[in-house]
A and B are shown apart, each in its own frame.
Chain A
Amino acid sequence: MTIKHTAIAGALLGTAILGIGAASAGPEKVEYPKNYQSQYVWMGDTDRHDNNTIRRLYMNPEAYATAKAGQPLPDNTVLVLEMRSIKMADGKPVLEAGRFVPGDAVVGIAVQQKKRGFGTEYAETLRNGDWEYAVFDINGVRRNAPTTACLTCHKPRAGEDFTFVAWRVLADLKK
C-alpha cells in the first residue's frame, strides 16, 4: 500500500514537473530587450479602442535593416509590444486629431522573437514557425503568463509571418 502510494505520488510529481517544464520551456528562451525604447525602431502606435490603451510596436534595428517588404522577417527579429496607458477625461479618452494621447505609464511588455530552432516544442497546430513569445512586467521581470494565447492568436497570420502589424508597417516604411 505504501509502495503504491509512493508510486502514485511519484507519478503525480513527475507529471507536475513535466507540466511546468513544458509550460515554461518556450518563453524562457526570449530575453528581455533592455534599452528597446532608445535603440529599437519605432513601428507606430495602435489605438486600442476596446480597452483604451495604446500598443506601441518596436523592432530591433539589425532586423529592420535587413528586412524586406513582403518577405518573411529575418532570423533574430525581435518585436516589442509595449502597452501604454492613455490620457482620460471624464472617463473618456482624450483625443487629439482623432488619436489617443499617450499617458506616462507603461502597463505591460510582450516580446515576439524569431530565431532558428525556436518553436520545436509545439505541435504544428500551434507552432508559429520559428517565433516564440514572452511577457514581462515594466521592470523587465519575466511574468510566468501562459503564452498559448499568443501562439493561438498569431497562428492564422502565417501568411504575414505570424505578425499583425509589423508586416504591413515594413511594407509602408520600405516602399
Chain B
Amino acid sequence: MNNNKGLFGLALATAVVSGMAAGFGLETARAAQAHKIGMADSQFGPKAVKAKVGDTLTFTNDDYDNHWVYVPTFGHQISRAGMKPGETWDVVLHKPGTFIVNCGLHSKMTTTVTVER
C-alpha cells in the first residue's frame, strides 16, 4: 500500500513537471535550422523542403549562370533578381504554408517549400 502511494506520488510529480515543461514550451523546444537550397545545372536542389517557422532558407547559387529567385505563391511573394554565381541569400521563414520557388530566368527551375508551425 505504501509502495503504491510512493509510485503514485512519483507519477504525479513526473506529470506535474512534464506539464510545466510543456507549459513553458520546453517540450517542443527546437533550435531554428538553416535549409540550403542550391542552384546547379539550372535546377534547384532539393526539390522539396520541409521547414518550421523561424528556420532560414539559404539560397546558394552554385551555378555558372545568374539566377533570379522568386516566389509567386500568393501571400509569400518575394523575389531577388541577379543572383550571381557564388552568391547566397538568407530568408527567415515567418509564416506557415506551402509555396513554390521559381527562377525568373529559367522557367523549368522549381522547388517547393512547406513551412509548419
Give min CB distance, A63 to chain B, whole Å: 17
Contact indicator A44/B70 (Cβ below 8 Å): no
Contact pattern, A 44-81, Cβ under 8 Å of B = 1, otherwise 0:
11111111000100000000000000000000000000
In this complex, how many residues of chain B approach chain A with their Cβ under 8 Å: the count is 23
Known: A168-B72, A169-B72. A45 touches B80 (CB 8 A): no
Interface residue B78 (Cβ < 8 Å from any Cβ of A): yes
In this complex, how many residues of chain A approach chain B with their Cβ under 8 Å: the count is 25
- Tell me which residues across on chain B come within 8 A of A153, comparing CB atoms: 104
Q: Which residue of B lies closest to A57 (CB)?
A: B77
Known: A97-B95, A98-B94, A164-B72. A159 touches B107 (CB 8 A): yes
- Tell me which residues across on chain A come within 8 A of B80, comparing CB atoms: 48-50
Contact indicator B79/A44 (Cβ below 8 Å): no
Contact indicator B78/A169 (Cβ below 8 Å): no
Partner of A165, one of B77, B81, B91, B107: B77
Partner of B92, one of A55, A98, A156, A159: A98
A contacts with B: majority SS: mixed
Give residues of chain A (62-117) contacting chain B, Cβ–Cβ below 8 Å: 97-99
Give min CB distance, B14 to chain A, whole Å: 38
Contact indicator A168/B92 (Cβ below 8 Å): no
Contact indicator A98/B95 (Cβ below 8 Å): yes
Instruction: Compute how far the CA of A46 lies from the CA of B73 in the bound complex, rounded to whole angstroms.
Output: 10
Q: Which residue of B lies closest to A46 (CB)?
A: B77
Give residues of chain B (26-81) contacting chain A, Cβ–Cβ below 8 Å: 70, 72-75, 77-81
Interface residue B100 (Cβ < 8 Å from any Cβ of A): yes
Interface residue B9 (Cβ < 8 Å from any Cβ of A): no
Give min CB distance, A8 to chain B, whole Å: 43
Instruction: Compute how far the CA of A75 lies from the CA of B100 in the bound complex, rounded to whole angstroms.
Output: 27
Q: Which residue of A lies closest to B105 (CB)?
A: A156
Contact indicator A173/B74 (Cβ below 8 Å): yes
- Tell me which residues across on chain A come within 8 A of B70, comparing CB atoms: 46, 164-165
Instruction: Compute how far the CA of A97 lies from the CA of B94 in the bound complex, rounded to whole angstroms.
Output: 6
Interface residue A157 (Cβ < 8 Å from any Cβ of B): yes
**Selected A-B contacts with CB under 8 Å, 15 pairs:** A43-B74, A46-B70, A48-B79, A49-B78, A49-B89, A50-B80, A97-B95, A99-B94, A160-B107, A164-B70, A164-B72, A164-B104, A168-B72, A168-B74, A169-B73
Give residues in B with beta carbon < 8 Å to A: 70, 72-75, 77-82, 89, 91-95, 100, 102, 104-107
